Structure 1
């Protein structure tokens, strides 16, 4: 608590003289209710100081229970009797609010039980996603897609939410949250809900796959392969798959290798053909470069699981050994890595280090094939390094249902999907029209995904190539893997434009990709910045500055969605393209704020949160 008090005081002290001119020499302090007035003698304009203290005053208010306000005139400080009247009004307002609350709830104070725990509410949300997979009115391949999404969502839940709860417990932070639940209770309840969700996922998977088999799409398990299918799959395995695999004999590797998170591992319990007493466990990681669902050669719509092919060809991978048992497992590691960007000298390097550290962090979940033996389970626990806090689940269906998305994109079978709804061209910018002319004619509002994202790309294409354009400024949070946005910004810089890009390195699970984008943009000549210390920049903004007919012109695109041409076809977002002078001026100030060239000023057309 002492450190928090000192930090709060130092932040306020730093706000006393933002211009660093030693203009503030004498002050007096006057408390009025929950406001601490700082009377500065001889000062004329304290607007900058008041804005600065507003930006950092939250900590002071939380620690001391008072707001800070600078003033140069004692007339602005309420007299004592007026201050008492203010307190009376505030007390009356609070009392009325409490009376209303009591009347509605019958309680003297808010009941924590009426509040919902944020982590458990996330599981409820994912349950609604899973409900779409269970909904028989939804087309089959769309149900499969929802099932895949619900599985991938659980991955993130464990990597971040569960990992964070375990970290709290280990740090001794056992106090209940606003919902009244301490972290150990949340973890226990999450375990029960996840187990129920796994059972629902397995039932939905069986139901969907059974119906798909009647539509000529099927996943054929190993025990149902025909002799001809087995022959063709073994040939395919030896020619295309085996050269990529790396079996790991765990009993012979010292120290044992670190097993990758979110990777399916096939555990083969093997014995000597003539001596059953000697057994070893060989782990075969399934690389992400190989599809999990392998098309059975010569059969349209028929798939085999990659792990089934590995188990079937164990004799090819480990000659001379007999298969005693096979099972699959998958580790989810703690990915909740904190980066204190105000304490590092190279944020890009620190982000890359944090991404690499995720590969070695402790497991928070282990998923197993159903029916695994106790002896093999113990070997897997040893190999995975799972500790007491790690949750272990046996899955009735195969692991990682997220792989079912591979089937969702299979060609044909349109009758098993929602009717396509291709985006239309936004009103006011017909195909072939110069985006600059369209924006100058009228403000353009685009509703994605119902309206096309193409005009945004065309706007950037024009800006990157037109000789009149002087500068481009843009924020990037997430973008697509082969992003045309990155390519056009690189092209703009090589064409001599002044290109400034804020790349948010802390976009969760896109840190590595964004770090690569940042290096590419820097190599092309762009000025790359990494945002405001202590904050993630979620704003989606593009500002283009040009000189036309001897005058500076500015045009802006703002959006609720990322500059990602792929997700713009799926996610619901709103975009605005405009040349409005007031808004463009505000966005120019906003970019100057991001680059550290100005303090938070006044804005006419936009609001910024938080008020820094």
Structure 2
């Protein structure tokens, strides 16, 4: 095979399916607590929802448009759809088996997921009272007939279909009950006993349909095409057109139907008469639908002992005892590795700037900030304090559009200058700039990150961030924000940082080429969420052919085929799936003067060519060493690590050496550093563990 052979490239959608299979595999892991295993089923289901809403919907549009070839792998949309459907249909059996195993294990621990028929008389009485008091007033029953048409169902709508018999004339009718997303997914009948809400509604549905007898019922759920198409060039008011786009998402084409198993086969035909879903996209389940609802059970406080104890993020030196955050940043570049290190310093950075009378200006990009954002609240306070606040609020952040619209309006009302994205580009860069007046001079402080300004996800996503007063970075930050304000990002270039779409891809290709020239002395390690860009993959193939040793740590999609003799035999590809979601992007090139970088950008065409992204060089030895420690510790992982083989299959890394989890090791590492400033028995123990981990890595 050669680098131009289509067999050298894995299909993106198939690669993603295998990533989600790795997520599901974690639910099989009997070495972790039961609710942790259930959590991975919830993540698997949530991932699959988005995959169908965006990727499968997109493939269906391509097929309908007559497109026959879409990628370097040469698979047609129809071939991809066929593989996806067959894979998911087969995996459904695995999913149900794992769920039932976990369900049985939970029952042994006093946590029960039951059907109404499994309850005793007293429990049923309590459940009926709950139905009448809390469900009856808010659910919507509909008898489908000539005067009551089948109602519109929003994306990810959850409902039950019922077959009714008229008690007077014996006539049979079809009905349904819509179940609001505001309702709990499970009803706790008594301590530790949970019943799916659709079972409660179905059991007492006779209260909703006077004059009818309930023959049978079945739950179902739909998925719609949720990809919003925005013609920015035609939009006079981007806010208005984005708002309209959010409304159309609720009405997109139905691309999947999930339905519970029923002895009455007529249900499926009756439902699909109205929905008209392709039979290949109908999935019949013997377990509860809407897997994201399992988070309710995972979060049960009474059963917290069935989860992994949470790690308490640490604030490390020099920030642990910092009196003046800005003075500390002036004296030290501070690298943070979340979630092991606390996100509080980043929040404090913006909050302190909002209150500091000498701060003149705060500028930052906001991509996914969460619903109750302390950072956005601080920006609002700063604007109300008459500071110059500029916020780029990316309205095209998928599935966060509505939340971002809300924050954009709030910021604007407070007097902030809000930039509603850049035409033709999505702003994915994570950067904040604070300008402070000190005497007769201005001093700049910059924060750069691989992750979002979201304190909630910062507890579960691994991300690298940097607080610095580096003047060159600050100059570039000012230039970047000017380009965002003027809409000129598609042609802007920076001097010390690197920006997409103009610089990052070219820089990465240059760095790979430099290692290629070193032959067998070359060394490349790249850690990313996804590896899709064909130009970069081809460059790595050439480097491998020249003898460069290459390790890729790619959590999700990887289109590169490793281990092919004569092309990619010097490339290894690994994926880590564990307690934390690996989200940091770190790129190491042995013979480069800088040597190591971190970025907001993955190795994907959308990141490198259609988004505003930032690649940050590590400019001091201490930070470079810490970034290298992260890479080296992850390459040593033999607990959460999978290796991608040349046949496209992932296999858990097996080792005869002592078990080593990079995520647990880094918890120990951070505990050890923290203990330098804390004198107690636990701190001393943590310090010893950290030293051991560093020595072993």
CA distance in 2, matches of 1:125, 1:377: 31
State the match for 1:399 in structure 2: 289
Query: Aligned to 1:247, what secondary structure does the other structure show?
Result: strand
Number of the residue aligned with 2:499 = 608
Aligned-pair CA distance for 1:241: 1.4
2:261 is the alignment partner of 1:367: no
Q: TM-score, normalised by structure 2?
A: 0.70
Task: Classify 1:252/1:432 alpha carbon distance in 2 versus 1 (closer, same or farther; 3 Å).
Answer: farther
Q: What secondary structure sits across from 2:370 in the alignment?
A: coil
Between the aligned partners of 1:230 and 1:110, the Cα distance in structure 2 is 65
- Report whether the alignment pairs 1:467 with 2:360: no
CA contact (8 A) 1:327 1:369 kept: yes
Note the residue ranges of structure 1 that are not aligned, 5 or more in a row: 1-104
Shift of the alpha carbon at 1:253?
4.1
Counterparts of 2:70 and 2:279 in 1: how far apart (Å)? Answer: 19
Is residue 590 from structure 1 mapped to residue 483 from structure 2 by the alignment? no
Please state how far the C-alpha of 1:304 moved relative to its aligned partner. 1.0
Confirm or deny that 1:319 pairs with 2:210: yes
| Greater CA drift, 366-375 or 195-204 | 366-375
Structure 1 residue corresponding to 2:172, chosen from 274, 279, 286 = 279
The corresponding residue for 2:108 is 214
Question: Following TM superposition, by how much is the alpha carbon of 1:231 offset from its aligned partner in structure 2, in angstroms?
Answer: 0.5
| Alignment CA distance shift 1:494-1:389 (3 Å) | farther
Q: Which residue number in structure 1 is paired with residue 84 of structure 2?
A: 190
Residues 545 and 553, structure 1, Cα contact 8 Å, conserved in 2: yes
- Counterpart among 219, 228, 249 of residue 328 in structure 1: 219
For the residue of structure 1 that corresponds to 2:109, the secondary structure is coil
- Aligned partners of 2:262 and 2:108: how far apart in 1? 28
Paired residue for 2:240? 349
Q: SS in structure 1 opposite 2:434?
A: strand
Distance, in Å, in 1 between the alignment partners of 2:101 and 2:254 is 31
CA contact (8 A) 1:364 1:389 kept: no
Q: Quick check: 1:541–1:557 contact (8 Å CA) kept in 2?
A: yes
- For the pair 1:125 / 2:19, whether they are aligned, the reply is yes
2:49/2:223 contact within 8 Å kept: yes
Q: 1:262 maps to what in 2?
A: 156
User: 2:413 matched to which residue of 1?
Assistant: 523
Which of these residues, 295, 300, 307, is aligned with residue 188 of structure 2?
295
Match of 1:537 among 409, 414, 427: 427
Displacement after TM superposition at 1:531 (Å): 2.3
Is the CA contact 1:265–1:330 (under 8 Å) kept in the aligned structure 2? yes
Give the CA deviation at 1:430: 2.0
Q: Could you report, residue by residue, the CA deviation over 1:544-582 in whole angstroms, capped at 9, with x for unpaired residues?
A: 111111111111111111000100011000110011111
* SS across alignment from 1:572: strand
Superposed CA offset, 1:50-79 (max 9, x none): xxxxxxxxxxxxxxxxxxxxxxxxxxxxxx
Q: Deviations over 1:405-429 (max 9, x none)?
A: 1011111434322232110013211
The equivalences for 1:76-225 within 5 A come to 105=1, 110-175=4-69, 177-225=71-119
Query: Deviation at 1:532?
Result: 2.0
CA distance in 2, matches of 1:142, 1:388: 35
Q: Which has the larger radius of gyration?
A: 1
Q: Flag the 1:263–1:543 CA change in 2: closer, same or farther, 3 A.
A: same
Secondary structure of the 2:422 match is coil
Partner of 2:537 in structure 1? none
Q: TM-score, normalised by structure 1?
A: 0.80
Contact 2:358 2:436 in 1 (8 A): yes
Q: Give per-residue Cα distances to partners, 1:109-153, cap 9 Å, x unaligned.
A: 743233211111111100000000011112111000001100111
In 2 relative to 1, CA 588–325 (structure 1 residues): closer, same or farther, beyond 3 Å?
same
User: Is the alpha carbon distance of 1:431 and 1:566 closer, same or farther for their aligned partners in structure 2, counting shifts above 3 Å?
Assistant: farther
Match of 1:442 in 2: 332
Contact 1:199 1:396 (8 Å CA) reproduced = no
Q: Secondary structure at the match of 2:136?
A: helix
| Separation in 2, partners of 1:118, 1:564 | 28
User: Would the alpha carbon gap of residues 408 and 597 (structure 1) be closer, same or farther in structure 2, given more than 3 Å must change?
Assistant: closer
Corresponding residue number in structure 2 for 1:38: none
Question: Unaligned regions of 5+ residues in structure 2, if any?
Answer: 504-697
